[in-house]
Amino acid sequence: MHIVYDIMNSMPIIKESTYHPPFPFNNGHLQTVLPSLIRKMKSDFYIRERIETNDDDFLDIDWARIGSRKVAIISHGLEGNSHRPYVVGMVRMLNLHGWDAAAWNYRGCSGTINRQLSMYHNGSIDDLDCVVQHVLKTGPYDSLALIGYSLGGNLTLVYLGKMNDNINSKIRKSVVFSVPCDLEAGARELAKTKNKLYMEDFLVSLHKKIKAKMVLFPDQINDRDYHLVKNFKDFDDRYTAPIHGFKNAEDYWHKCSSAQFIPEIKVPALIVNALNDPFLADACYPIDEAAKSANVYLEMPESGGHVGFMQFNEDKTYWSEERVIAFIDQS
């Protein structure tokens, strides 16, 4: 990482992070991979609710309610879901600190393929807004926090920036982790040889979604020569862009990158991007944008990997979960 620290003393750039990885797990790849392998989190406490969207599709929300007047909505990462350990861990931490939690699944990520041809992507703010509006109608909530990881973090920032002055007044805080604030730079970083295994894993998972869509829309989508799809450029050019009304992958990346929306965000928001995140290029760290913002804070721990921030303690909590509580409960 070649980020220059000349402006690190100015707020809202957070100069000193409290995260320190357990020895010897300070490697970015270890921080990225190990949590999904060794962290076992039960999610049998969820209560699932299916809601309808305006385009005759559906979204599945997994609830963890404790009867609070505060609620947090959690947006997962690419090809994730509400049962991923980082989501369940966050839900548990929220409940322990007096928050209801709603972990929503993007279209096709809840175990059932969605009805429409459209899928989820980095700019699917209509779906996030659908969840926000529904959640606020379900109980007497006074305060709502938005929490996002990776793609979900980018989506959350795009939502906050585009909603701007029209944001619901009950949305008080937001915390996002491992955010590819520049989608083109992030896509090119993941296409590098050092990230080949991650890319292959994503493409295999996405291929399953494409094959499921082919059953519903045989005349509109196919996987012919899918083996030629080697990276996000290939995938987004072939699927994401045409299905969702973008000219090509670059047009999609440009219009849905969150960095450009940071100046418009009016809600206090914290971005936490580890400097050793293997998924993020230099342009994914919005130093200039955060330095000029009155509402967006940027914290860049030396370690943490991609959606990692692991630690070993008796209650099995991770630093990222503690960081969320510290920020959203701060008056």
Give dist(CA 116, CA 209) in Å, integer. 12
pLDDT of 189 strictly over 70: yes
The predicted pLDDT at position 112 comes to 95
- Mean pLDDT (whole number) for 224-238: 98
Instruction: Write b or e for each residue in 160-170: b if 16 or more Cβ atoms lie within 10 A of its Cβ, otherwise e.
Output: bbbbeeebeee
Taking residues 8-20, what's their average pLDDT? Answer: 75
pTM over 0.85: yes
Averaged confidence pLDDT in the chain = 94
Q: What is the pLDDT of residues 159-187, one digit of tens each?
A: 999 999 899 999 999 999 999 999 999 99
Report whether pLDDT(331) > 80: no
Query: What's the gap between Cα 196 and its chain centre?
Result: 21
**Residue 181: predicted pLDDT:** 98
The mean pLDDT value for 290-303 works out to 95
At 174 the pLDDT is 98
Q: Which architecture does CATH list for 13-182+258-328?
A: 3-Layer(aba) Sandwich (3.40)
The CA distances from residue 210 to 76, 93, 217, 290, 324, in Å, are 20, 35, 10, 37, 34
What residue spans define the domains of the chain?
A: 13-182+258-328, 188-256
pLDDT at 3 exceeding the cut of 60: no
pLDDT at residue 10, rounded to an integer: 43
The pLDDT value given to residue 101: 98
Distance of CA 105 to the CA centre of its chain: 11
pLDDT at residue 11, rounded to an integer: 56
Query: What would the pLDDT profile of 58-115 be if each residue is shown by its tens digit?
Result: 999 999 999 999 999 999 999 999 999 999 999 999 999 999 999 999 999 999 999 9
Per-residue pLDDT tens over the stretch 108-144: 999 999 999 999 999 999 999 999 999 999 989 999 9
Q: Which two tokens stand for residue 8?
A: 């690190």
* CA distances from residue 324 to 4, 146, 329 in whole angstroms, order as listed: 26, 10, 8
Tokens 């083109």 locate to 184
Name which of 171, 175, 56 is nearest 107 in CA terms. Answer: 56
Residue 206: CA count within 13 A, CB half-sphere: 25
Longest dimension (CA), the chain: 56
pLDDT of 5 above 70 = no
Per-residue model confidence (pLDDT) at position 329: 94
Give percent above pLDDT 90 in the chain. Answer: 91
Q: Which residue has the tokens 């590098």?
A: 192
The pLDDT of residue 315 = 86
